[in-house]
Structure 1
Amino acid sequence: MTRAPFAADPARHRGREFGPQRGGGIGEQRGPRSEFQRDRDRIVHSMSFRRLKSKTQVFIAPEGDHYRTRLTHSLEVAQIGRVLARALGLDEDLTEALCLAHDLGHPPFGHAGEAALADSMARFGGFCHNAQALRTVMRLESPYPEHDGLNLTWDLLEGLAKHNGPVLGPNWALAELDAEFPLELAAWPSLEAQIAAVSDDIAYDNHDIDDGLRAGFLDLEDLLQLDFLADQWRTVEKRFPNAPRERQLRELVRDQIGLMVNDVLEHTRAQVAGIGSVDEVRAAGRRLAGFSPEMSEQERALKKFMYERLYYHPEQVTAAARARDVVTRLFAAYSQEPALMPDEWHDRLPSEQPARARTIADFIAGMSDKFAIQSCTAIYGEQPDGLVNV
C-alpha cells in the first residue's frame, strides 16, 4: 500500500513518555514491528482490553450470547477503521490501535455507570470516560517494571484524547496527564484519529440496530419511517425477494455500513486534496475525515431515532436506573469502608481528597458488569435485581 503524504509515519512518531523512546528515539524492539504496531499490541495484551468482554455496549448484563459487548464493538470499529485507513493511504496500525482503545475508559454498565460515577465524583472533579481511557493507558494499566502505564506513542495518546476533535476544556484527569506529557489538546488530531471516530459512529449506529431488532426493542416498520433506511430496504427486498426476513434485515445493516463507508471515503478524499503532511492535518483547523453534510444529516436523524426507540426504551431506562444504583452504592461503600477494596487497592489508597475519591473511581471504572454486581452483592448481602433485560 502506498502511504499518503498526510498519513502518520511510525518511523517519525513523536516519542513516548518514558524511557529511551521519549523524544522520538526508536528504543528496543521485540520483534519486527513498527512503533504503532507495538502500541496496538500493548493494548490488545492489556487487562483493561480483556475486561471489555464483560462490559455493556447497549444491553446491561444480557442473557443472550449474540449481543454486542464493548469488546466485540471495539473489534468491529477496528475492522471498519482499517478498511477506511487502507483505502485512504493512512497508517492502518495506528488507526486500529485507536479503535481498539477508544472505549477502555468506560465503567461497568456503559453510559448508566458513567452517569453514576460522574454524580458520585461531582465534588472531586467529575468523571469522563474519554479522559479515563487516557488515565487507564497512561497510569493505571502498568505491566512494566520501570514506569506506570503502557508507554504508548504520543501519536496514539493524542488521537485517543482528541479523536472527537480538539479539547478546549479538559477535565482534571486529562489536564493532569497533558501537563506531564503535553498532547496539544487545542489542535485537531491526525486523520487516523478522525477515522477512528467516524468508524465508531458507523459501527454503533448500525450494529445497535441489529441488536435492537434481535431483542425486539426495534421494529422494522418503525425503522422505515427514516427515508434513507426505507430506500435501502426496498433495494434489499428487490435483490432478495425470497430470502427470510431475518437475513434481509442483516443485509440491510451491511448495506447501510457500506453506504456510510463509501460516503466517508468520497468526502474525506475531497477534504484532503492539497494536504501534504500530518502537520498540515493538525493545522487545518477543521475536521477533514468524516461524513458528507448529507450523510451527517441522515446520521443525526438515525441517532435521534435510536435514542427515542432503543436507548430510552422503558425497559432500558429501568435497567439503567438499577445499574446506576449499583455503581452509586459501590462508591459509597468503598468511601465509607475502604477495607472492602482488594488489598492492592486499599494499601495504596491516598489519605487526602480528591485523590482518595479518584482512586476509588479508578477501581470501580475498571470493573466488568458481572464483577460490579458480584461486589455489590457481597457488600450489601443481596443481589441487585432487574439488570438482565433481554
Structure 2
Amino acid sequence: MSARALWASDPARSKGRLHEEQSGSERGPRDAFQRDRDRIIHSISFRRLRHKTQVFMAPDGDHFRVRLTHSLEVAQIGRTIARVLGLNEDLTEALCLAHDIGHPPFGHAGEDALKAAMAGAGGFDHNGHTLRALTAIERPYPRWDGLNLTWETLEGLAKHNGPVRHPGWALAEADAPFPLALTSWPSLEAQVAAIADDIAYDNHDIDDGLRAGLLTMAQLMEVPVVARNWAAARARFPDVADARLAGELVRGQIGYMVNDLIEETRARVLAAGVGSVDEVRAAGVALAGFSAQLREEERDLKRFMYANLYHHPHQLEAAAAAQRIVTGLFAAYRADPCAMSGEWRERLPEGEPARDRHIADFIAGMTDRYAISRFRELVGPIDLPEGF
C-alpha cells in the first residue's frame, strides 16, 4: 500500500457528523470513513440498486449490468487509483458505492419523467436525491433521520460533478443544517470517484452493448481510441477469434484510462503545490483528470455511445415506456396518496410542495420491476418492449 499523501483525507481530522455519536469500539475498530462505507453498504437504498437500470431496463439477461454491479465496478476502479495516489481508499470506496443511490427506476428516463412531474415542486435530479436519501429518507437509527455520514462523504457526493453554484431544492435542504462548501472543489478522493464512474461506464457499457447486439465491433472501430486499443489487443492475441477479444478490449481501455488519470493527476498536484486536503479544495481547479489527449478521445467515445447505444431505437422505445410508467405512477399517487405503502402513507405531508416531494421520494426508491408491477396494479396494462 502506498504511503498516505499529504493531500489525502484523514479520518482522524474529519469535520465530523451532523449528529454527535457515542465514541467507542463496541461495533468494531473502524475509523470514520470505514463506518461511512459500511453504512452505505448496509442501507436499503444500496440494496435496491440490484434491480435498477444501468443501461438496459429490467433486463431479462442475468449478465447485463445494473446499478449495483456498476457501483461495485466503480468502487474497484476508484480504490485502485486511490491506493496508487496515496489517497484514503475507504472514503474513495464509500463515494463510489453511494454515487448512484439517488437514481429512480429506469435510470435517466425515469429521472426525466420525475423531473417533469415535479416541475411545480422544484424538480428532481438524481444527485440531489442521493443526498436526500442518505440524510433524510434512510431511517435506521433511533435518534435521527439519515445515515449521519461524515462531512467529507456528504461533500464528495454533493460535488460528484464538481462545484455546485445553483443547488436544487433537495441538495439545498441537505446542505442547510451541515454546510458542505458547495462552491469549492471537493477532496481528491471525490474527484477520483467521479472519474472512476466515467471510466467504468465508458467501457462496461461497450461490453453490454455488444452482448445485447446493439453495437458491433465494426461500428466501434469508428472511434479512434477503441480502434487503437483493439489493435493492441489483436497484437497480443493474434490467433484468437474476435469474439474472445471483446473482454480484452474493455480491460485494455480501462487500464489505459486509469494509467493516464494517475499520471496526469500526479502532474497537476505537483504543479499546484498543494500540501493538504484543504489546499486541494482551495486550488480552484480540478486536480484529478485525464490528459488533454484522452479528454478529447473520451468525449469522442461518449458521442459515439449516445448516438449508437443510449439513443438506439430499442433504447428510445424502452425509455418512452419507462416514462409512461413513472408519469402514470406519480399521477396515481397524487390522486390517491393512500395507495402508497403503510409507512409512506402515514408520513404524508399535508401541504405542497412537501406532498409532491414525498410522492417523488416514494417513486424514486422503487426498483424497475416494482414500478412496473405497481403501474399495472394502479393504472392498467402496458406493453413493454422486448428486454423488460
TM-score bucket (shorter structure): over 0.9
**Residue in 2 that maps onto 1:291:** 290
**Residue in 1 that maps onto 2:360:** 361
**Residue in 2 that maps onto 1:265:** 262
**Residue in 2 that maps onto 1:352:** 351
Q: 1:34 aligns with which of 31, 40, 45?
A: 31
- Retained in 1: the 8 A contact 2:54–2:65? yes
Measure how far apart 1:196 and its partner are: 0.3
**Residue in 2 that maps onto 1:45:** 42
Q: 1:58 aligns with which of 55, 61, 80?
A: 55
Write the distance in 2 (CA, Å) between the matches of 1:387 and 1:212: 17
**Residue in 1 that maps onto 2:113:** 116
What is the 5 A alignment of 1:1-390? 1=1, 2-20=3-21, 30-273=27-270, 274-382=273-381, 384-389=382-387
User: Which region of structure 1 is more displaced relative to structure 2, 26-35 or 75-84?
Assistant: 26-35
User: Which region of structure 1 is more displaced relative to structure 2, 356-365 or 340-349?
Assistant: 340-349
1:220-244 deviation digits (Å, cap 9, x = unpaired): 1111011221111111112112223
- For structure 1, the residue ranges without an aligned partner over 5 or more in a row are none
- Retained in 2: the 8 A contact 1:60–1:388? no
1:84-108 deviation digits (Å, cap 9, x = unpaired): 0000000000000000000000000
Measure how far apart 1:119 and its partner are: 0.2
Write the distance in 2 (CA, Å) between the matches of 1:388 and 1:345: 32
- Retained in 1: the 8 A contact 2:332–2:379? no
Letter in 2 for 1:44: I
Measure how far apart 1:387 and its partner are: 4.4
- Retained in 1: the 8 A contact 2:131–2:154? yes
Letter in 1 for 2:224: D
Measure how far apart 1:194 and its partner are: 0.1
- Retained in 1: the 8 A contact 2:265–2:289? yes
- Retained in 2: the 8 A contact 1:103–1:133? yes
Write the distance in 1 (CA, Å) between the matches of 2:347 and 2:231: 60
- For structure 2, the residue ranges without an aligned partner over 5 or more in a row are none
Write the distance in 2 (CA, Å) between the matches of 1:388 and 1:97: 35
**3-state SS in 1 of match to 2:176:** helix
- Compute the RMSD of aligned alpha carbons: 1.1
- Retained in 1: the 8 A contact 2:329–2:379? no
| Identity among equivalent pairs (%) | 63
Mark the CA change 1:110 to 1:171 in structure 2 (over 3 Å): closer, same or farther. same
- Retained in 1: the 8 A contact 2:160–2:190? yes
Letter in 2 for 1:15: G
**3-state SS in 1 of match to 2:245:** helix
Measure how far apart 1:80 and its partner are: 0.1
Letter in 2 for 1:340: A
Q: TM-score, normalised by structure 1?
A: 0.97
1:88-142 deviation digits (Å, cap 9, x = unpaired): 0000000000000000000000000000000000000000000000000000011
- Retained in 2: the 8 A contact 1:158–1:189? yes
- Retained in 2: the 8 A contact 1:7–1:191? yes
Aligned residues: 385
Write the distance in 2 (CA, Å) between the matches of 1:245 and 1:32: 49
After superposing on structure 2, the runs of 4+ consecutive aligned residues of structure 1 that deviate more than 4 Å are 26-29
1:14-48 deviation digits (Å, cap 9, x = unpaired): 01011247xxxx56662111110000000000010
1:172-204 deviation digits (Å, cap 9, x = unpaired): 111111111100001110000000000000000
Write the distance in 1 (CA, Å) between the matches of 2:385 and 2:335: 25
**3-state SS in 2 of match to 1:230:** helix
- Retained in 2: the 8 A contact 1:55–1:368? yes
- Retained in 2: the 8 A contact 1:60–1:387? no
Letter in 1 for 2:361: D
- Retained in 2: the 8 A contact 1:62–1:388? no
Letter in 1 for 2:45: S
- Retained in 2: the 8 A contact 1:323–1:387? no
Write the distance in 2 (CA, Å) between the matches of 1:280 and 1:113: 38
1:241-274 deviation digits (Å, cap 9, x = unpaired): 2223222111001000000000000000001112
1:301-342 deviation digits (Å, cap 9, x = unpaired): 000000000000001001000000000000000000011101
